[in-house]
Structure 1
Amino acid sequence: MKWALATVSFRYHLYALDAIEQMARSCGFQGIELWEPHYIRHQAELMRRIHGGSATTMLPFGVLSGYLDTTDFSQNDAKWRSALQVKLDSCYALGIPTLRLFTGTKSSAEATPRDWVQFFERIAQMNELAAQAGTTIVLETHPNTLLDAPSAVDRLVAMIRREGWSRIGINFDVFHVWEFGDGAVAQRLADWYDVVKHVHLKNAVRPTRDFDMHNVYHPMGRLQDSDSISTGVVELAPLLQLLQDRGYSGYATLEWFGEVSETFFLHELDKLNRMILVAKE
């Protein structure tokens, strides 16, 4: 398992990418989850670094954290495929193996049988395009999206297995799965493990709206409930032990939306590494 730093943590901070990378390296992260707006903002700089031969000295970008509404069926397929191809091309250009997306803004409670049919048609296209680009696409478990309940995730997982979509997986967000409300976070991870291809680690002190997208990405968003990964309501140690036992070798991103500091990240990674050591014993 490899720890990744999410650059979205720096969405309202004036840090250059070099400074973020230096902090990530000094704290002990093995990779970076690159937020799509950061990629767009720094694209020219990133291309210069890649083509200038400095890529081997950089921490790898393990994930591009992007946005594309797969449940907006008012958008024709050609336009939607074109938008996805741009993101896959970006991954290819930077050698990023994984593209993280949300399913969109339609919740599972709102989805009709026809919505699911159209969604799976798009997932089939996504798998095809991702295979051509050599990229894996992971869809995040998140409130108010299609993957906001166990039964909905089960439905996607079953289709991935049945259709053999090898380039489609789940981004297992531990807090959001806890928000499903049945207390079975570790069981969900075990049930879906074969299609879990990325993990988000975050925590809070209570069920919260801190992580609602309109709050997280608003300059005046309030994040008073966000907490350390070791003291929030989600018990992470059993989840990390399960990942360790199953031989998970992908990235687990520490997704933090509060104030950033090297001290904070060092503390969080120390806690994570201690949990891993306990899991190995």
Structure 2
Amino acid sequence: MKYSICSISFRHELVSLLELVRFAGDSGFAGIELWGVHGLAALRQRPLDIPLLTEEMDRRGIGISMISHYADLNADAAGFPAVEKHWQELIELARAFRTDKIRIFAGNRGSRECGVRDWETVALRLRLLADRAAQHGIRTLIETHPRTYADRLESAIRLIRDADHPGIGINLDFLHLWESGTSPEEAWRSLRPFVLHAHLKNVLRADGGHVFAPENVYAPSGSRSGMVPLAEGAVDYRRVLPLMQAACPDVQASLEWFGRDPFHYLSQELLWLESVRASPGSSKLSPSL
């Protein structure tokens, strides 16, 4: 498997993209998941630095695994042209950083809260945005995430099928589907044909997922209580990671860390992930795919 750091992990650190490139390369990561906020700022303020960054990434053998950003698929009719304009900016950003994936959330309310017309609108708009990105060889990923139309296994599969576009895939966040009652193994087996990326993070207890609510994790004063390394949390990654490795050895995953001291955490986490890959016990797990 190929692992990436997330630039969003450093949202409260005074650190440049060049420093992140060097850290990722020196630590053994395959890439960086670039938060759209960071990427758009670089494109707007220092566009001439981007070719230098991509050259440095080439030299170190890493790349931008995907752009992670947002598109308001629930905007009213009058507001959607602004969404389309912003989407074009994200396509230009992906091209500048030479990545072929943009991740967004599917809507801004839970799948059980939406009506038939809401669902049809989101699926149609998702297909429209995906089609525009696909014209540039870029795939559109929807994340399995609470308070979106892909908040459960069933709704994620339905949305993929209803949007019906080959350029649409899944960014599989195991923790969030686990919160909804789906084990990591079941999530992987059911969504494997659509998974183009994965997010890895963990919590200490089953009732601790609220710590990842956007209004908390993006706030400098937000609580970090319950955010723990992958090996120490309630979600058991020791079983699903070998399944993924056996079936799709080139699948990409990002370590989505929102806690303190990201340099130390990410370095140690990669060592643990490599130990899971090398563990004799893990190789005995039956893929059962």
**TM-score, shorter chain, exceeding 0.5:** yes
* 167-176 or 76-85: bigger deviation: 76-85
Shift of the alpha carbon at 1:215?
0.6
Q: Which amino acid aligns with 1:101?
A: I
Q: What is the distance in 2 between the residues matched to 1:273 and 1:159?
A: 37
Q: Which has the higher contact order (CA 8 A, sep 6+)?
A: 1
Name the structure 1 match of 2:93. Answer: 90
Contact 2:185–2:239, Cα closer than 8 Å, also in 1: yes
Structure 1 unaligned spans of 5+: none
Deviation readout 1:27-71 (Å, 9 max, x if unpaired): 211100011111122224454341687353253111111111112
Name the structure 2 match of 1:177. Answer: 177
1:51-200 equivalences under 5 Å are: 54-55=55-56, 56-57=58-59, 59-159=62-162, 163=164, 165-180=165-180, 182-200=181-199
Contact 1:92–1:134, Cα closer than 8 Å, also in 2: no
Q: Are residue 202 (structure 1) and residue 204 (structure 2) matched?
A: no
Q: What is the distance in 1 between the residues matched to 2:86 and 2:54?
A: 29
Structure 2 unaligned spans of 5+: 285-289
Q: Which amino acid aligns with 2:22?
A: Q
Deviation readout 1:49-97 (Å, 9 max, x if unpaired): 4168735325311111111111223444433222211111110121111
SS of 2:169 mapped into structure 1: strand
Name the structure 1 match of 2:20. Answer: 20
Shift of the alpha carbon at 1:185?
2.4
Shift of the alpha carbon at 1:19?
1.6
Aligned residues: 277
TM-score (norm 2): 0.89
Q: Which amino acid aligns with 1:104?
A: G
Shift of the alpha carbon at 1:21?
1.8
SS of 2:246 mapped into structure 1: helix
SS of 1:13 mapped into structure 2: coil
SS of 1:4 mapped into structure 2: strand
Q: What is the distance in 2 between the residues matched to 1:121 and 1:52?
A: 36
Shift of the alpha carbon at 1:242?
1.5
Structure 1 residues 277 and 80: CA distance shift in structure 2, 3 A: same
Deviation readout 1:204-243 (Å, 9 max, x if unpaired): 1022211101111112111111000111011012211121
Contact 1:9–1:260, Cα closer than 8 Å, also in 2: no
Q: What is the distance in 2 between the residues matched to 1:248 and 1:169?
A: 18
The root-mean-square deviation of aligned C-alpha atoms, in Å, is: 1.9
Shift of the alpha carbon at 1:100?
0.9
Q: Which amino acid aligns with 1:176?
A: H
Structure 1 residues 69 and 248: CA distance shift in structure 2, 3 A: farther
Structure 1 residues 270 and 107: CA distance shift in structure 2, 3 A: same
Deviation readout 1:83-140 (Å, 9 max, x if unpaired): 2111111101211111111113221121001011111111221221111121011111
SS of 2:12 mapped into structure 1: coil
Contact 2:5–2:31, Cα closer than 8 Å, also in 1: yes
Shift of the alpha carbon at 1:266?
2.0
1:246-257 equivalences under 5 Å are: 246-257=247-258
